[in-house]
Amino acid sequence: MRRDVLTMGKNSRGDTETVERFLDSTLESVDSAEELALQEAERAGVPEDDLHKIAMAVRESMVNAVVHGNRYNAHKKVHLTLTKGHGEFVVRITDQGEGFDYENLPDPLAEENLLRHSGRGIFLIKAFMDDFRVRRLQPEGTEVTLVKYLVSK
Amino acid sequence: MSVKLSTRQVGDVSVVDVAGRITLGEGSSALRDALRDMVGKDHKKILLNLGEVSYIDSSGIGELVSGFTTVTNQGGQLKLLNLTKRVKDLLQITKLYTVFDVHDDEAAAVRSFA
C-alpha cells in the first residue's frame, strides 16, 4: 500500500484536468512525483524532447521541498498538483517548510562557483521549464509553480 | 536498482563503468563511495564510463564535480567517457563540459592519461 497517497483526485474544471497527491517528505516521494509527472505530461501530449526536462524539473523541485523545505520531517507533507489545459502543463509543488531565499542564490555558472558541489537545482529548473514562479505562504511553506507550454506563445 | 558501478583495470587506468541513474540518494552516494575508495587506494588515473547512465540530476552533477576536485587535489586525473546526449547537454548548460576531459573512444581516453 502506498502510504504517501492521502488523497487522490481527478477533477475536470472546464477544459483543465488536475491530478493531485499529498506526499511524505521522503526520497521515495521524489521518485513517485517524477514518475507521475512523466505519465501525466505524456498524456497531456508534451513532446518527447520535453518529457525528460519536466521530469528533471519536478525531481529538483521535489528534492527542494523534501530536503530543504520539510527537511524530511515525517509530520510534514508535500502537496503536488499536475494540471493540463489551456495549452499548458502546470506543476505545483508546495511544502510546509520555513522557506529560503530564491532571489539571492549564487550563480552556478560564475567562475568561482563552477566547481561547487551544490547549487544547480533551481538553475536547471529554470533552464528546463518555460516559466518558474515561487510564492512564500503564511504562516509557513513555499509553493513553486513550473509551467511548460504545449503550444507556442 | 538506481545505479550499478563496476571497476576494471586497463593498464594503469582504472575504468569505472557506471550504469543507471545518478540521482540524490543511492545513486549519488554509490558514486561518491566508489571514487573515495579509489582515491583511498591511491588510484591516480580514473576514467568514468557514463555510456549506460540514463539520468543525472543536480546531486549527481555535484558528485561528479566533487569527485573531480578530490582526485585532482590528490594529484590524480578523472576523465569522462561516452556521455549520452542528455548528460552531455546537462554538462554543457552547467558550463562543466569544458571543465572535464571528455572522450568518446576508450583506447584514446586511456592513452590520454600517459
Contacts of B63 in chain A (CB under 8 A): 117
Nearest to B57 among A59, A108, A116 (CB): A59
Residues A93 and A77: their CA atoms lie apart, in Å, by: 10
Q: Is the pLDDT of residue A8 over 60?
A: no
Cβ-based burial of B108 (10 A; exposed 0-12, middle 13-18, buried ≥19): exposed
Can you tell me the ipTM of this complex? 0.90
Tell me the DSSP string of A37-93. Answer: HHHHHHHTT--HHHHHHHHHHHHHHHHIIIIIISTT-TT-EEEEEEEEETTEEEEEE
The closest CB to that of A63, out of B24, B69, B90, belongs to: B24
- Do residue B24 and residue A123 have CB atoms under 8 angstroms apart? no
pLDDT above 80 for A109: yes
Cis link prior to A106 (omega < 30° from 0)?
A: no
Looking at per-residue pLDDT, the higher value among A85 and B50 belongs to B50
Question: Which residue among B57, B65, B94 places its CB closest to the CB of A56?
Answer: B57
Residue A9 has pLDDT above 90, yes or no: no
Average pLDDT value over all residues in chain A: 90
- Predicted pLDDT of residue A100: 77
- A6–chain B Cβ distance below 8 A for any pair: no
Q: Does position A7 have pLDDT exceeding 80, yes or no?
A: no
pLDDT for residue A3: 39
Query: Which pLDDT score, from 0 to 100, does residue A152 have?
Result: 62
Q: Classify B15 as helix, strand or coil.
A: strand
Closest C-alpha among B18, B40, B38 to residue B28 = B18
Chain position carrying cell 518527447 = A48
For B39-97, the pLDDT digits (tens) are 999 999 999 999 999 999 999 999 999 999 999 999 999 999 999 999 999 999 999 99
Which pLDDT belongs to residue A104? 87
Query: Phi first, then psi: what are they for A91, rounded to 5°?
Result: -110, 130
Chain A residues touching B62 at Cβ < 8 A: 116-118, 120
Task: Identify the pLDDT of residue B94.
Answer: 97
